[in-house]
Amino acid sequence: MSDTITDRATAAASGAAATEQFRAKQRSSTADVGTKRVDTLVTELLTAAHDIIRRHKVTYDEYDALKSWLIQVGEDGEWPLFLDVWLEHVVEEVANENRQGSKGTIEGPYYIPGSPSLPAEATLPMREAEEGTPLLFQGQVRSVDGTPLTGAAVEIWHADNDGYYAQFASNLPEWNLRGTVIADDTGHFWIHTIEPAPYQIPTDGSCGRLIAAAGWHAWRPAHLHLKVSAPGHQLITTQLYFEGGNHVADDIASAVKPELILAPTPVSDGSGREVTYDFVLDRA
């Protein structure tokens, strides 16, 4: 693993980038939550916290430690990381409980909109001699009734062979291993990339201190991130994992579902692995 990347991909740097991306997203949001809804959710959240304090006889030392940690999470810019790792999977479960098509899962904190548009068969932007096992990820995008979705957008991003994401480790090219592939007239796509590595979420900040204090591990299994969309259909946000990979069974973000596990096979010429995965989109 590169010392340069290790030195620069700190919790503070990743947290700052994730926080800025979230703020940019919120600036363009038109969501308006009514006072009754806020009252209901916050009251129940506080009631649950009160119950925990009473049942576990929380001490002032523990309370002060919590206050200190909460303040530090904000100073480290790690609220997006904390929420996406430990809460988002339940929000996603509720949001997509009525979908008939492909399974979704969490977006995570490392999404960047506006990646380069690429043709139906494309190689993701990458460095010369990018390390990692070559992977051909191919498939078709269809509607729930089986209709191929011409020109569907398959937006993909993932970590490199060291477990780092472009724009969250400063010495990686801006769009490294990120792109938006436009499916052909039959909804098919062929994406040439490399297999990502498992990685630890940053552990040198507040989230890392929580993980250490609780005796947890900080690992996410190797995965591909995707957003797949087509006119007249609901966008699906998902991640795809690799059969037999480390931490598929104990992902710290609890985002793995059986339907999202890939089983790549060797390419006949020995030049890497390939896998086919189709996406089925619900109508809007």
Reported pTM: 0.87
How many domains does the chain fold into? 1
- Whose structure tokens read 């991306």? 21
H helix or E strand, kind and range, residue 186: none
Residue 253: left if φ>0, alpha if ψ -120 to 50, beta else—which one?
A: alpha
- Whose structure tokens read 């609901």? 234
H helix or E strand, kind and range, residue 121: strand 121-123
In tens, the pLDDT along 41-76 reads: 999 999 999 999 999 999 999 999 999 999 999 999
Range of the domain at 4: 1-284
CATH, residue 121:
2.60.130.10
In tens, the pLDDT along 173-195 reads: 999 999 999 999 999 999 999 99
In tens, the pLDDT along 68-101 reads: 999 999 999 899 889 999 999 999 999 999 999 9
Which residues, 6 or more positions from 225, have their beta carbon under 8 angstroms from its beta carbon?
Answer: 107, 108, 110, 111, 156, 157, 158, 238, 239
- What CA dihedral angle connects 4, 6, 7 and 9, to 10 degrees? 110
Which residues, 6 or more positions from 54, have their beta carbon under 8 angstroms from its beta carbon?
Answer: none
